């Protein structure tokens, strides 16, 4: 299933307020060989966790316990060049035009295949392996 990025385990921060979804995602990331560095359900927690763990990738839901604050989280996290932000949301219409610094969005409900191929895509981009083809189910930010 993987596209040969063995050894390229990404350190991922999950920003999701629904415990069941967060847990499911953590299991999936584990199965894919990635490491979940933390799970945050609100913006304050997400930003603090990102500062302390400097994740490679943050998977950010827009709607959190403290409201539609995922956009602020994305803006804050994408300031750190080490972190690639990807939205995971059912509310793609809420994403601002500039995507708040995120590289794109995975629509919920998502499939394991879409998450896997998006993370391969992110790993390729981070490693500077040319312009990888955009995976199905992943909507890239404009520009």
Q: Using alpha carbons, list the distances in angstroms from residue 41 to 16, 23, 35, 59.
A: 5, 12, 18, 12
Could you tell me if residue 106 is inside a domain?
yes
User: What's the domain count of the chain?
Assistant: 1
Model pLDDT, residue 55? 98
pLDDT in tens, 79-129: 999 999 999 999 889 999 999 999 999 999 999 999 999 999 999 999 998
Model pLDDT, residue 31? 97
Could you tell me if residue 67 is inside a domain?
yes
Closest CA to 60 of 100, 15, 19, 4: 15
pLDDT in tens, 8-33: 799 999 999 999 999 999 999 999 99
Encoded tokens for 10: 């990404």
Could you tell me if residue 41 is inside a domain?
yes
Model pLDDT, residue 70? 97
Domain housing 25:
11-127+136-140
User: Per-residue pLDDT for 43 more than 60?
Assistant: yes
Give the C-alpha separation, 44 to 84, whole Å: 18
Could you tell me if residue 5 is inside a domain?
no
Could you tell me if residue 2 is inside a domain?
no
CATH of residue 100: 3.40.50.2300
- C-alpha atoms less than 13 angstroms from C-alpha of 76 in its C-beta half-sphere: 17
Could you tell me if residue 3 is inside a domain?
no
């Amino acid at each position: 299933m993987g596209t040969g990025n063995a050894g390229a385990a990404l350190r991922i921060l999950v920003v999701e307020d629904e415990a069941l979804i967060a847990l499911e995602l953590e299991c999936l990331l584990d199965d894919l060989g990635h490491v979940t560095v933390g799970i945050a359900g609100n913006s304050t927690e997400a930003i603090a966790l990102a500062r302390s763990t400097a994740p490679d990738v943050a998977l950010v839901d827009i709607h959190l316990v403290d409201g539609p604050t995922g956009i602020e989280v994305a803006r804050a996290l994408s300031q750190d060049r080490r972190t690639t932000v990807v939205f995971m949301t059912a509310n793609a219409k809420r994403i601002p035009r500039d995507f708040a610094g995120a590289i794109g969005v995975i629509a919920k409900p998502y499939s394991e295949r879409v998450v896997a191929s998006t993370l391969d895509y992110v790993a390729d981009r981070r490693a500077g392996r040319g312009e990888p083809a955009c995976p199905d189910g992943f909507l890239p930010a404009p520009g």
